[in-house]
Structure 1
Amino acid sequence: MIGLIWQGIKDLGLKTLWNSLQYQLRQRRYRTETAIVALEDYRRPGTVIDMSRDGRTVTLQTVSGAYAITVLAPNLFRVRFRPDGDFAPPFSYAITKPDAVWPPCDFTVVTTDAAVMIRTQRLTCRVDRESGRLTFLDPHGNVISEEAEGIAFHPAGPVVCRRRIQPDEHFYGLGERAFGLDLRGRRYETWHTDPQTYQLEQDPIHLCIPVLVGLHSQGQQGYAILFDNTFRGHFDLGATEQDVASFEAEGGEMRYYFIYGPTLASILARYVELTGRTPLPPRWMLGYHQCRWSYYPDERVRKLAADFRHTYRVPCDAIYLDIHYMDGYRCFTWHPQRFPDPAGLIADLHTQGFKVVVIIDPGIKADHRYWVCQSGLENDVFCKLPDGRLLRGPVWPGDCYFPDFTHPRVRTWWGELCRSLVEIGVDGFWNDMNEPAVFGPLGTTFYDVTRHDLDGRSGDHREAHNVYGMQMVRATVEGLKRLRPDERPVCITRSGWAGVQRYALGWTGDNESKWDTLWLTMPMVMNLGLCGLAHTGPDIGGFNGVASGELFTRWLQMGVFFPLMRAHTNFHSPDQEPWSWGEPYLSINRRFIELRYRLLPYLYTAFWQCHQTGAPIVRPLMWAYQDDEATHTLDDQFLCGDNLLVAPLIAADADRRTVYL
């Protein structure tokens, strides 16, 4: 215990550690107990007793509630089940295309004594009359996905859907997962968590996306399910029962979108039509970027720029400023001694061809003399507890208030704050700590009872947690569009949700300087791409730990082919620039960064394809060779765009490897 306290003092400082301990004690007052519900205690829809059709929606009354199955496109159905049968228009942070905007879609409804079948040219949803179970079939009557016991609900709030796993089925997606490409056989949580640097097979971490991609029948059947529910949930992909996959949430509605391929390309095309497309970035975002926690003071930043341009002559497009540029870690401020003339510094960097990206966290220091805090209090933008008190929690500045980004007025207020940085020339914004994270034991976040506006619907943090980070970057990007309407906004996020790709790019969070993490980068980026978040990449060299010259160089060589090519490391690590290990690494690193710049036309074409069709820039080989079963679990090589196969060296002292062609 004494050792833990001493480590806390070293990492956080005595005052912040004390604030963290107080936060944990207050948590007892606001703790909510989550009901543990046995599977046999759930209720099921039961027998179908009536059916009606209104436009593109078929409503099926059952003994225990009702289904509303909506045909949005020939290969896209939305399934809702409610015990009360009250189907108000669905609100969703994930979905960007309203029902009314979808073109008309022809479908038929066929009823028999055994089933109700809703059929388009490409997809059939069969509802068993006796049990209410759903099965999705292709045009030839083959099973794409079928329910086991099916949908179930509990009066205390939890909902679950259990589906049969096909014998040769593989699963992908689910956002940022520290696992191999094929996710089958494990249970995953959907609850954004700051892992304080993650290890292989640690779950959950920064960015969960409730999108599951399934592939079976020797690659002939591909589909995706978007579980449109923001409460804490789980995907069990055969961990509890080998032949059953389930997705569940602790509250909210059972609502999911079923997308049929059968190809991965057609699945992603429909998914981004539903949730939003990756915007084309400015060209400088495709260059090499240099970051660390932190480059300061301004003389250190100027030296870094000179090292790139003159001393070592290594191409670079962007320099990042981490939290030490701020005055006491107060967002939207500059440290008066470390950065006395930020506008002059940024202008000088621009003259040398560098862009500047600064970090901004959601926590606003609870200091009534601080202009952002004053403005937030005056405009009533901060999250509150049920008793009306402001939520206070410790992060980098100490005790902080936190904006409620689920309120439109708060998003507008936040976007306007960006003006102070935009006007002095800041080019990009890096939104961190937005799981949201609070200092404390692993997984500490806002109290469950914290109130949120939820765009006028009102609710608590159990429903808002998973969309908090996405609404933060939404506020940032919408503000940047107002402030610089003629420029493409740049926002990088550590957390997000389904649809975050329409606002921001991501990175794979606080990784380790290890060889197994170098390999892990590939399946993480590939699975994120299969969830629509194609613009992403790792901290090259690893964030936590000390990279060798060989490890950094191997990571940089791989990074040439990732959408985001950024080196980053933490406060305690030695320098981690391309020249930090001398020769031969400097020459090798320079040559591969130059290769990145020669590939810019090719990479930009891949980004254009992504913007148009949802095709990831980094693709698993099964993307192009879906009928080759060997590719369904292959996660140590990948495709970059249409024409490049990348097979990195991922072991120490290796000078060759096996490549699957």
Structure 2
Amino acid sequence: MSTDKFAFGNRISHFLVKRLMNFVVPLKNRRRIPWQWVSLGGISSFKTEKNVALIECVNGYLEIKLVSPTIWRVRASKSKITREHKSWATTEPPSSMNIKLKQERGYITLKADKNISSKNDILIKINEIDSTVTFQKINDEILNDEEKAISFGRYSSWSSMRKVSPEKEIHIGFGERTGKLAKNGKKMIFWNTDPTSFGKNDDPLYQSEPIQISVRKDGSAYGIFYDNHHYSIIKPKNDRKSTIEYFTESGPLCYYFFTGPTLKEVCKQISSINGTLPLPPKWVLGHHQCRWSYYPEEKVRDIARNFRERNIPCDSVHLDIDYMDGFRCFTWDKDRFPDPKKMISDLGEDGFKIIVITDPGLKVDQEYKVFADCIKNDYQCKLPNQNSYVTRVWPGKSIFPDFTNPDVREWWGSQFKTLFDVGVEGFWIDMNEPSTFTFKRTALDDVEHNMDGRGGDHQDAHNIFGQSMMIATREGVDKLRGNKRTFLFTRSCYAGIQRYSASWTGDNNSNWVGLQQTIPMLLNMGLVGQPLVAVDIGGFSLNCNAELLTRWYQLGIFYPFVRNHSAKGTVPQEPWSFGEETEKIIRKYIELRYQLIPYLYTLTWEAILTGIPLMRPLFMEFPSDIETYNEKWQNTEFLVGDKLLVAPILVKAVKGKNSVSRDIYLPKGKWYDYWTKELLVGGKIIQRDVDIDQLPLFVKAGSILPFGPIVQSVEKAIDYPLFIEIFPDEEMIGNVYLDDGLTKAFEQGEYSFLTFQGIDKRKSISLDFSKKGNLQGLPSTNNSIHIGIYDNRIPSTVLVNDKKLKSNDNSLENYWEVNTKEGILLIVIKNPEFPMNIEITY
């Protein structure tokens, strides 16, 4: 009864705080869109300079730049535009291309000046009468048009535009947003905000990534990055013209146009200028456990001990703010953690890495060295009267370093040495919107910032405050650690954060809505460039329960980054918190996560090369399958890479039942039920009754998947083989990326990248394994490979590089055997040599 009362009281207090904040915070941060606007007007003059067209209009200036063959940049301003575009997200590649300009029939047309044209080449038309800009293909197919020319507030610094399309489009992307995958009909505000905790309608949230991706049901796509870090609003309408209205409070209006023509190509183009993720240590893909807060030291050791004694895999325990001395960054509470170095070392011997939280607020305390150094060097944010800006956060009265100052960034980065010296392996950066304990919930608008020497106030700096903090942290830790990889993740950021850090979605709720919205949120974050993203499994605020935690883990093990995290004052939600049966089910799925790590690590490697995310909407891989655009599947199913389809249970079971029924759409083609290996025909909807211990999971036929062993921590996999599982079809394909998992040696080619191809001719199967990279053998394994083919047929011969293998003799280094009960042909090869050919004859 006391637990029920506690839970009820927790919900009531949470509800009251949320209602207050939902009223006060928007009021304190409100911006008024102007009523009166002045458009660019007609074109007065124009000229080109290499890859840039400069256009003077009656009421302003327009600049259009060819950044690359598939990316254009448009800038507009009331006043003359400076040639340098200062972006906190993009790094434009050098270009030797020129623009070809032509004036005809009332338009100025621009295109890349090249000898050979393709059907996907882009032509830009600027109307001489009103300066509206149209993007179209050279075959006159319009991608995007302006219904209203770029305009400026008559009496303000605001800019706006209204874009339309000739076809109905699905507008996706936009980063961290609540609600459905498609944002048609949803107004979005881009102003980094700590909402205390968030539900399905909260907007804005912690991050600002104003990147629109527009997809048509023929599979074509294009993208627009509105690269202005000031307060902005985007309104995608749910109309036939796919109208998008964009408003930004200050600065020249700037956007990049990504020409596609496919969703994958748009993702590649975004990452080509916004950057890709530094490859994390391999252990980061394991299971992480956190709570606000684990202390004292014995509690941390007890959590780790429970994982090992219960045989539940886990690679990292995170320490929230209570490990610090009075919430002073870069310190330890000596009563709670008398010897953090020994604790971390002891846990490290058992396979645990420690990640600690760090906030931007520095306690006002002259005896606190970090604060004193910040003041001494004049590194703090200031008010216009040049007094330090002092606000309240966790330590009480606090200051913020001005991370927009390069000198401050270098100083801040050096502070992490004290944490590295005791063995900390990763850093979780929080409260960096910046969040304050005031009704405004952030810094005052007139707080001054350096802005890399240009100067500005907090209205200018707000959305990139977290970004600049992460730049400081990434540059600092990389300088301190040299060749060793360090994992960072942040709550707040601007577009392009993946160049420096991973992120997570902040303080979600422990309820079914909280679970449901994770799929569209993580999909959209991945599409705009963030491949390594996380949600607090089980939910952060409110109380979790056995059924919710079970279903959340079944979904959560497919998140790119897997962390269980909950708030102080809520019920415990470690995997063993709700009894043996729940623990058993959760263990099973965490073990599956560890088996999938070779596949997930390979996808992460591919993401840093291409920008294509790990979690993908169905229509990314099946763009010609019209049913994949159905809203029902957009928000309840997803792909992991191009081979696994996950259809989790997202609703509570009816009282008295232990199962939930759901519809599942399998895209066109053939699919295997992962658990039963039943072969299914796609292109249709199937229905499943799913018990509490089950998860609908499917593998695309023809997939060759790398698997790992069930281990308690990722680095233990070095004692086991690499497992390859083959789901036969006429043609089969797969790959795996292997390296040491810890250092940056891969940047010098120290890795192994294996590609698998196969053909099934019914009377024989031919498999070819090829290798790239300088590392020999199979790094991070015991240098043996176990190949499992889900096939009931019994071979007559198995040849490996023309050498015949014996069957059913596991005393040999190389052999094969058939498990008829499980329907699998197993081929074991120790110390394999590549290229390798396997011929199986029946």
Per the normalisation by structure 1, the TM-score is 0.92
Q: Which residue of 2 aligns with 1:657?
A: 662
Q: Within 5 Å, which residues of 2 pair with 1:172-571?
A: 172-216=172-216, 218-238=217-237, 244-310=243-309, 312-441=310-439, 443-571=440-568
Cα distance in 2 between the residues matched to 1:158 and 1:517: 35
Distance of aligned partners of 1:179 and 1:34 in 2 relative to their CA distance in 1, 3 Å threshold: closer
The answer on whether the counterparts of 2:219 and 2:263 sit within 8 Å (CA) in structure 1 is no
| 1:659 aligned counterpart, secondary structure | strand
Q: Which residue of 1 aligns with 2:823?
A: none
| 2:422 aligned counterpart, secondary structure | coil
Q: Which moved more, 1:389-398 or 1:648-657?
A: 648-657
| 2:397 aligned counterpart, secondary structure | strand
Q: Which residue of 2 aligns with 1:51?
A: 46
Q: Which residue of 2 aligns with 1:73?
A: 68
| 1:349 aligned counterpart, secondary structure | helix
The residue type paired with residue 110 of structure 1 is K
The residue type paired with residue 624 of structure 1 is E
Cα distance in 1 between the residues matched to 2:319 and 2:165: 47
Q: Within 5 Å, which residues of 2 pair with 1:580-591?
A: 580-591=577-588
The answer on whether the counterparts of 1:181 and 1:527 sit within 8 Å (CA) in structure 2 is yes
The answer on whether the counterparts of 1:187 and 1:239 sit within 8 Å (CA) in structure 2 is no
Q: Structure 1 vs Structure 2: percent identity of aligned residues? A: 38
Q: Which moved more, 1:593-602 or 1:650-659?
A: 650-659
Cα distance in 1 between the residues matched to 2:545 and 2:218: 40
The answer on whether the counterparts of 1:185 and 1:242 sit within 8 Å (CA) in structure 2 is no
Cα distance in 2 between the residues matched to 1:174 and 1:220: 19
| 2:180 aligned counterpart, secondary structure | coil
Q: Which residue of 1 aligns with 2:740?
A: none
Q: Which residue of 1 aligns with 2:102?
A: 110
Deviations 1:395-424 (A, max 9, x none): 111111001000000001110111110111
How far 1:364 moved relative to its partner? 0.3
How far 1:393 moved relative to its partner? 0.8
Deviations 1:217-271 (A, max 9, x none): x234311111111110100111799853111111111111000112011111111
The residue type paired with residue 650 of structure 2 is I
Q: Which residue of 1 aligns with 2:733?
A: none
Deviations 1:177-217 (A, max 9, x none): 0111000002100001001000102100111201111123x
Look at both structures and tell me which one has the larger radius of gyration over its CA atoms: 2
Report the RMSD for the aligned CA atoms in angstroms.
2.0
Q: Which moved more, 1:62-71 or 1:291-300?
A: 62-71
| 2:664 aligned counterpart, secondary structure | coil
Q: Within 5 Å, which residues of 2 pair with 1:104-183?
A: 104-105=96-97, 107-120=99-112, 121=117, 122-154=121-153, 155-183=155-183
The residue type paired with residue 378 of structure 1 is K
Higher helix share: 1
The residue type paired with residue 657 of structure 1 is R
How far 1:486 moved relative to its partner? 1.3
The residue type paired with residue 352 of structure 2 is F
Q: Which residue of 1 aligns with 2:601?
A: 604
Q: Which residue of 1 aligns with 2:589?
A: 592
The answer on whether the counterparts of 1:453 and 1:459 sit within 8 Å (CA) in structure 2 is yes
How far 1:60 moved relative to its partner? 1.3
The residue type paired with residue 477 of structure 2 is L
Of structures 1 and 2, the one scoring higher in RCO (CA 8 A, sep 6+) is: 1
The answer on whether the counterparts of 2:384 and 2:448 sit within 8 Å (CA) in structure 1 is yes
Distance of aligned partners of 1:240 and 1:439 in 2 relative to their CA distance in 1, 3 Å threshold: farther
The answer on whether the counterparts of 1:289 and 1:566 sit within 8 Å (CA) in structure 2 is yes
The residue type paired with residue 658 of structure 1 is D
The answer on whether the counterparts of 1:521 and 1:538 sit within 8 Å (CA) in structure 2 is yes
The answer on whether the counterparts of 1:68 and 1:87 sit within 8 Å (CA) in structure 2 is no
The answer on whether the counterparts of 1:292 and 1:569 sit within 8 Å (CA) in structure 2 is yes
Aligned pair count reads 630
The answer on whether the counterparts of 1:32 and 1:448 sit within 8 Å (CA) in structure 2 is no
The answer on whether the counterparts of 2:491 and 2:505 sit within 8 Å (CA) in structure 1 is yes
Cα distance in 2 between the residues matched to 1:241 and 1:615: 29
Cα distance in 1 between the residues matched to 2:200 and 2:32: 30
Structure 1: 5+ residue stretches without partners: 1-5, 12-23
The answer on whether the counterparts of 1:32 and 1:449 sit within 8 Å (CA) in structure 2 is no
| 1:586 aligned counterpart, secondary structure | helix
The residue type paired with residue 198 of structure 2 is Y
How far 1:440 moved relative to its partner? 2.6
Q: Does 1:83 align with 2:78?
A: yes
Distance of aligned partners of 1:241 and 1:156 in 2 relative to their CA distance in 1, 3 Å threshold: farther
The answer on whether the counterparts of 2:168 and 2:239 sit within 8 Å (CA) in structure 1 is no
The answer on whether the counterparts of 1:136 and 1:146 sit within 8 Å (CA) in structure 2 is yes
Per the normalisation by structure 2, the TM-score is 0.73
Cα distance in 2 between the residues matched to 1:267 and 1:510: 30
Q: Which moved more, 1:63-72 or 1:428-437?
A: 63-72
How far 1:501 moved relative to its partner? 0.5
- Pick one of 571, 576, 579 that aligns with 2:576: 579
The residue type paired with residue 316 of structure 2 is A
Distance of aligned partners of 1:637 and 1:32 in 2 relative to their CA distance in 1, 3 Å threshold: closer
The answer on whether the counterparts of 1:165 and 1:245 sit within 8 Å (CA) in structure 2 is no
Deviations 1:328-361 (A, max 9, x none): 1111111111111111111111111100000000
Cα distance in 1 between the residues matched to 2:126 and 2:607: 35
The answer on whether the counterparts of 1:135 and 1:145 sit within 8 Å (CA) in structure 2 is yes
Cα distance in 2 between the residues matched to 1:350 and 1:60: 61
How far 1:295 moved relative to its partner? 0.4
